[in-house]
Structure 1
Amino acid sequence: MCRKLWSSFSLFSMGLSCQLLTILLTGIATGYFYSIYHWYFVYSENYTMVALMAAIGFVQGAALTALIIYGSTLYYLYRLSLGGEAMAQSLGGVPFDVDSAPATLARLPQINQQVAAMFGIPAPQLYWLPQEEGINAFAAGKNPQAAVIGVTRGMRRLGENQLRGVLAHEMAHICNGDMQHNMRLLAIVQGLKSIQLTSCKLIQWGMYLFSKPSGIRFAMMQLQWGVICMLLGLVCFPMGVVGSLVGSLLLAVTNRRREMRADQVAATILNDSTAVADALKFILGAQQGGRMSRPQARAWGHVMFVQANGRTGGLLGTHPTLQRRIRTLDPQWDGVPVFEAISDPGFEDEANADPGAANPAAPPYSFDEDGPLRTISQDVIALFQDSTAAVVTLPALLLFDDRDRLLAQRLQGGQLASPIRSLWAVLEGLQADQRVALLDVCRHTLSQPPPKTASEILSVVDELADMVGETAWDLQAWRSLLHGATQPPAKMPRAKVGKLDDIYRDLVELMSIMSVAAERDGLADFRFHRAWGRLGLPQAGVLPAEVLAWPDLEETLRKAARTPAPLRQQIADACVAALTADGSLDATQAAMSRVVCARLGQPDRGLMPGRVL
């Protein structure tokens, strides 16, 4: 405690010393200019009068500077003494109301109560700034019992754990006595900065007097006052600049230590260093960051969770760099920002997620009375719902096209050729949309088969896919989907790519694959440009089919899966636009659309071969 009081006393002493030094230097400079002016224009040979006027100039300059500095200091002390509510209201804040606040902040009062109980203090009153889209927060007040925590509208993008970390950081400031310290130090610094503002005003007034038209009677008086204002402004300006720099440096030095300490205290009280770290990672990855629009917010930026000007670090930065704060809390951080709320139930760390795995098992197939299966007998559909028969039914569907039927002779050493041919006879006349619908039925059937059966079925599918090669998009797509159907549900990886520009080349490959995967020729360029226009990226061209294969699609979808949910939806929409560009869909394109939706965590569009509206 004594060490903390001594540190605060030293800083305030330094601030007051800077104010006194500024007053002294301004007085000396004013006296010097007074002596020069009267030497050349009034008392050219009277040294006594010149010395007297220099002394008068010193007193006037010092008195005026002291009046400005201490007047400004007292004014800010008065404003800050009004309490946290007044500060929040001056920033455009209003009392937090669950009904008017965004739905994602509905639990903020409960989180506030929980964290306050952990710190052992009364729950601070919550204010929110509905006009501020930057992700930021602050604590203000005369004492812990009258403390206020303000949050910006941008905080709605944080997850619950991240919100808990931000509130814990601000309550650490309350418990450490940083609110009172910040209020007093801000008043001293604003007093130093007021000299620069006053000098700028004096220069503006002087220029105004020079340029203002007037009669001959007042011309000399106006010119004289213009000269005085200009001289005073020019004298005060260097001192104001120095005072502002010293004040900003003083504020930066003391505040950086307190921000780091608040991070550590919050992590200790929560027993979880990731809460604050994940909030900082999210702000690092957000385009708006912690930037706030009101000039008043930037003037009080040192009380914010992160710098209110949107920058980070720097000589005069009031906060340490975000990277330094994150690494202090999370030494194993890989340097990649977070682009989505951590508490989003659809996401998890890459350590626990499989970005390359397809989405979990397909939803139950909907037997629409008007759907593709309406003309197929229930006995045939029941056959495809039998997991034990899938070792035959799946190859029969995958090899149904005439060009692929010869492969049945080589599959499993020819053991399945006879039953597959018998099934083909039953399915004679099967349309493309019916074939895809039956494959969807098999895909759902495989979601919960006995493990031994699933392994046997997948081995047959793998053998078949290896036989056709990596450019057989149709079979490779169904292989991926069937493998995904037998795997347990897997969450999407945490987003680590914030902009589509960061995966530009991968998106060129992805859209090229979507454009060339169709069985029809001549429309690849058209499909590519239709899809590319939905991404809003710089112009690109479709890649030739010869350089593309299934592993390329796997890699591009793996990287696309690391983007935030809105971007994943945009990518999926672009892929579907490429597949349906000519208003129709074949079996290969239907399978590709299912793979894209599964890998990007999007709902299956249920597209079927045929005309697409």
Structure 2
Amino acid sequence: MNFFERQEQSRRTSRRLVVLFALAVLAVVAAVNAVVFFVFASVEGSRTGYSPTLGEWMSAHPGTVLGTTLLVVGVIGLASLYKTLVLGGGGGVVARSLGGVRVSPDTTDPQQRRLLNVVEEMSIASGVPMPEVYLLEQESGINAFAAGHNPANAAIGVTRGTLTTLNRAELQGVIAHEFSHILNGDMRLNIRLMGLLFGLLVIALIGRTVLRLTSNSGEKKAFPIMLVALAVLIIGYVGLFFGRLIQAAVSRSRESLADASAVQFTRDPTGLRGALLKIGAVSGGSKIANPEVEEVAHMLFAPGMSRLFATHPALEDRLKAIDPRFDAKEFDRARAELLLAAERAKAEAQPKPSAAEKLEALINVPGAAAAVAGLVGNPGTIHMQVARDIRKSLPDAIIAAGRHPDSARALLLALALDSSTEVRGRQQHYIAKQIGAQTLENITRLQSAVDTLEPEQRMPALYRTFPALRQLTREERLQLLAALNGMLQREGHVSLQNYVLRKLAQVQLSDDLNPRARARQLPLNVVQKDIQVLFSVLAQHGHEDIESARRAYEVGVHHLLPRQRPSFESVQHWAPPLDLALSRLDQLAPIIKEQLVEALVKTVTHDQRLTLGEAELLRAVCATLHCPLPPLVSVNAN
């Protein structure tokens, strides 16, 4: 199953989840109304000697039935909405609720440094922004999670036990598992699950609170209310029971897919296999001690607690899916090996990182457009190797700048500056006026390092700023987004590479600021003008003459619109229409986006060559459409 199919499956699962939740709410409403009828009908019967039927009572008390229904639905809805809004701050909110502390980019702790390196390499390889990284310092079990609404505000959390027990390959397997949740759209689904389940839990909490208050009053007339409160308490927990059942069913299927994706990403099943094996071998397993673990049980890499309905497939089943020859006796052997692991780790000398080799030699034309589209959301071993080389090759000034909010903001703006001296001067003047002279000074200090970046280094440099940028206030991020828009308006002859990189920054900032915003899906037939703009701009920037651009345009658009298609149009002032086109094309269904990526590849590679700059431009365009491509490398590059 490729990236686009996984995205479509996630959307179908989300729709099923809403339906199941609605059924659970209706069941709770019906049960509460039945309790109200039973209690009040019994009271009327004892007073009048006649007990009405359910239909008679409902006909006689329509206001009570309507009020009860609206009250229950309103409480559940408002509670779910409240929880969802609280979680709107992104994955960091979930991580902090479990006691997580953000890992500082400046950390000198070897284990934390290794964690950041692995996450950054996976980020570069998969073509998505680097998430915030949190450490659950007090948790000795082996576990991890990914949380957030989208890649722009994602966070990855790991326990201290994960860092101390797993080696690098095993840690990479766990992080690859969590990145699959980011790429597959599971995070948004998990956040919705948390919000919906909280709504069902609130009914039980209200019943418990009312029962406690009325029982303390000691008044006989409060007895019917106590009965209703007790019944509501039971109904609330029954509703929550079915909610947990939904949570477990959804989680198990997504966890199996994430295991398969992690093996596909790393092409090294031994890493994930070793991590799961150690969970079964250590005494603490994957347990999380924090009391909030129940709410996030479906997000975790492995079960964080014992419960009736398991949120994950059995550990042995997961291991056998990776290695059919797995034998449960291996747990004992792994347990014995772990007794010597600490001493062995001290004895092993860590090799010094070698200098990065030229990355241009790794870039090659992929065999087919479909193969490139298949890489979306599916980085492999070679991409991890390239990502490691890219990370090591970044200048120290760039690495340091991405670690703190103010310098990260300056780095982003420096990357967005136009290459023309005249245009750059206008943009710098605008930045100083809109954000401040200090930011401009920070940009000036970074500019020489930014200007030396190779094309394949610019997206990683941009992505590594986002964890630090999230530390800015909302007002500062909105100001930064406005500055990026203003810089575009001050350009003359716009560089397509700079434009797309800036557009990508705007997309990620907007996703972070509005994580719940979800545009409706557009059919292919209503975006033909947008297709014309994108492919025309891409073709004319990749070819020296109009005729070559026209042929490249036709090859790509024919793949997408084989019957009737708009003709090639040379676009002079292309930035505003391209901005609109990319925003609208981002609203296509995942399965159509797959065809769009294939068509883009056909246009870019029409001349039977793909330069490093063209490859990175293609990746940046795809990233603005939320189709993250790993670095385009030859399979023989290693």
TM-score w.r.t. length of structure 2: 0.48
Contact conserved, 2:44 with 2:51, CA < 8 A, in 1? no
1:569 counterpart residue number? none
One of 5, 9, 26 as aligned partner of 2:15: 9
One of 242, 248, 253 as aligned partner of 1:252: 248
Cα separation, partners in 2 of 1:53 and 1:132, compared to 1, 3 Å: farther
One of 242, 259, 273 as aligned partner of 2:238: 242
User: Which stretch of structure 1 is more off in the superposition, 69-78 or 95-104?
Assistant: 95-104
Q: Structure 2 matches for 1:294-305, cutoff 5 A?
A: 294-305=290-301
Which amino acid in the other structure matches residue 17 of structure 1? L
Give distance in 2, aligned partners of 1:297 and 1:275: 26
Cα separation, partners in 2 of 1:120 and 1:36, compared to 1, 3 Å: same
Give distance in 2, aligned partners of 1:40 and 1:235: 20
Give distance in 1, aligned partners of 2:52 and 2:258: 60
2:24 counterpart residue number? 18
1:176 counterpart residue number? 184
Q: CA deviation at 1:102?
A: 5.5
2:158 counterpart residue number? 151
Give distance in 2, aligned partners of 1:193 and 1:44: 38
Give distance in 1, aligned partners of 2:214 and 2:303: 36
One of 189, 214, 221 as aligned partner of 1:206: 214
1:196 counterpart residue number? 204
Contact conserved, 2:10 with 2:186, CA < 8 A, in 1? no
One of 302, 305, 317 as aligned partner of 2:310: 317
Contact conserved, 1:130 with 1:153, CA < 8 A, in 2? yes
Q: CA deviation at 1:252?
A: 0.8
1:329 counterpart residue number? 322
Cα separation, partners in 2 of 1:102 and 1:196, compared to 1, 3 Å: farther
Q: CA deviation at 1:103?
A: 4.0
Which amino acid in the other structure matches residue 20 of structure 2? M
Q: CA deviation at 1:244?
A: 1.5
Q: Structure 2 matches for 1:86-125, cutoff 5 A?
A: 86-97=93-104, 103-125=110-132
Give distance in 2, aligned partners of 1:56 and 1:267: 58
2:457 counterpart residue number? none
Establish whether residue 27 from structure 1 lines up as the match of residue 33 from structure 2. Answer: yes
Deviation string, structure 1 residues 280-330 (Cα, Å, up to 9, x no partner): 111111111111111112221111111111x3xx75111111111111112
Cα separation, partners in 2 of 1:196 and 1:271, compared to 1, 3 Å: same
Which amino acid in the other structure matches residue 179 of structure 1? M
Contact conserved, 1:141 with 1:147, CA < 8 A, in 2? yes
Which amino acid in the other structure matches residue 291 of structure 1? K
Contact conserved, 2:139 with 2:159, CA < 8 A, in 1? yes
2:302 counterpart residue number? 306
Q: Choose between structure 1 and 2: higher helix proportion.
A: 2
TM-score w.r.t. length of structure 1: 0.50
Give distance in 2, aligned partners of 1:157 and 1:110: 17
2:395 counterpart residue number? none
Which amino acid in the other structure matches residue 5 of structure 1? R
Establish whether residue 81 from structure 1 lines up as the match of residue 70 from structure 2. Answer: no
2:286 counterpart residue number? 290
Aligned partner of residue 248 in structure 2, secondary structure: helix
Q: CA deviation at 1:19?
A: 1.0
Higher relative contact order (CA 8 A, sep 6+): 2
Aligned partner of residue 206 in structure 2, secondary structure: helix
Cα separation, partners in 2 of 1:289 and 1:44, compared to 1, 3 Å: same
Aligned partner of residue 214 in structure 2, secondary structure: helix
Give distance in 1, aligned partners of 2:181 and 2:37: 45
1:36 counterpart residue number? 42
Q: CA deviation at 1:163?
A: 0.8
Which amino acid in the other structure matches residue 34 of structure 1? F
Deviation string, structure 1 residues 231-260 (Cα, Å, up to 9, x no partner): 222221342232122111111111101000
Cα separation, partners in 2 of 1:114 and 1:143, compared to 1, 3 Å: same
Deviation string, structure 1 residues 566-604 (Cα, Å, up to 9, x no partner): xxxxxxxxxxxxxxxxxxxxxxxxxxxxxxxxxxxxxxx
Q: CA deviation at 1:207?
A: 2.1
Give distance in 1, aligned partners of 2:327 and 2:126: 31
Give distance in 2, aligned partners of 1:102 and 1:57: 62
Deviation string, structure 1 residues 97-146 (Cα, Å, up to 9, x no partner): 37778643331111111222222222211111112222211111121122
Rg larger in 1 or in 2? 1
Give distance in 1, aligned partners of 2:87 and 2:153: 13
Contact conserved, 1:28 with 1:58, CA < 8 A, in 2? no
Give distance in 1, aligned partners of 2:68 and 2:172: 51
Contact conserved, 1:83 with 1:141, CA < 8 A, in 2? yes
Which amino acid in the other structure matches residue 270 of structure 2? T
2:258 counterpart residue number? 262
Cα separation, partners in 2 of 1:185 and 1:227, compared to 1, 3 Å: same
Deviation string, structure 1 residues 13-37 (Cα, Å, up to 9, x no partner): 1212211221122123212321212
Contact conserved, 1:34 with 1:54, CA < 8 A, in 2? no
Cα separation, partners in 2 of 1:51 and 1:333, compared to 1, 3 Å: closer
Where does structure 2 lack aligned partners over 5 or more consecutive residues? 346-638
Aligned partner of residue 316 in structure 1, secondary structure: coil
Which amino acid in the other structure matches residue 220 of structure 2? L
Contact conserved, 2:41 with 2:51, CA < 8 A, in 1? no
Contact conserved, 1:35 with 1:54, CA < 8 A, in 2? no
Sequence identity percentage: 30
Q: Alignment length, in residue pairs?
A: 331
User: Which stretch of structure 1 is more off in the superposition, 285-294 or 93-102?
Assistant: 93-102
Contact conserved, 1:12 with 1:185, CA < 8 A, in 2? no
Which amino acid in the other structure matches residue 272 of structure 1? D
Aligned partner of residue 126 in structure 1, secondary structure: strand
One of 154, 174, 180 as aligned partner of 1:166: 174
Which amino acid in the other structure matches residue 317 of structure 1? A
One of 130, 133, 136 as aligned partner of 2:140: 133
Q: CA deviation at 1:190?
A: 2.2
Give distance in 2, aligned partners of 1:63 and 1:39: 26
Which amino acid in the other structure matches residue 322 of structure 1? L
Aligned partner of residue 29 in structure 1, secondary structure: helix
Give distance in 1, aligned partners of 2:214 and 2:50: 29
1:229 counterpart residue number? 225
Contact conserved, 1:69 with 1:192, CA < 8 A, in 2? yes
Give distance in 1, aligned partners of 2:57 and 2:29: 22
- CA-based RMSD of the aligned residues comes to 2.7
Contact conserved, 1:16 with 1:188, CA < 8 A, in 2? no
User: Which stretch of structure 1 is more off in the superposition, 90-99 or 315-324?
Assistant: 90-99
Contact conserved, 1:22 with 1:243, CA < 8 A, in 2? yes
Cα separation, partners in 2 of 1:297 and 1:101, compared to 1, 3 Å: farther
Establish whether residue 71 from structure 1 lines up as the match of residue 66 from structure 2. Answer: no
Deviation string, structure 1 residues 31-74 (Cα, Å, up to 9, x no partner): 23212122214x44697996676544433432332232112211
Contact conserved, 2:91 with 2:148, CA < 8 A, in 1? yes
Aligned partner of residue 107 in structure 1, secondary structure: helix
Aligned partner of residue 300 in structure 1, secondary structure: helix
Which amino acid in the other structure matches residue 160 of structure 2? R
Give distance in 1, aligned partners of 2:119 and 2:89: 23
Where does structure 1 lack aligned partners over 5 or more consecutive residues? 211-221, 348-613
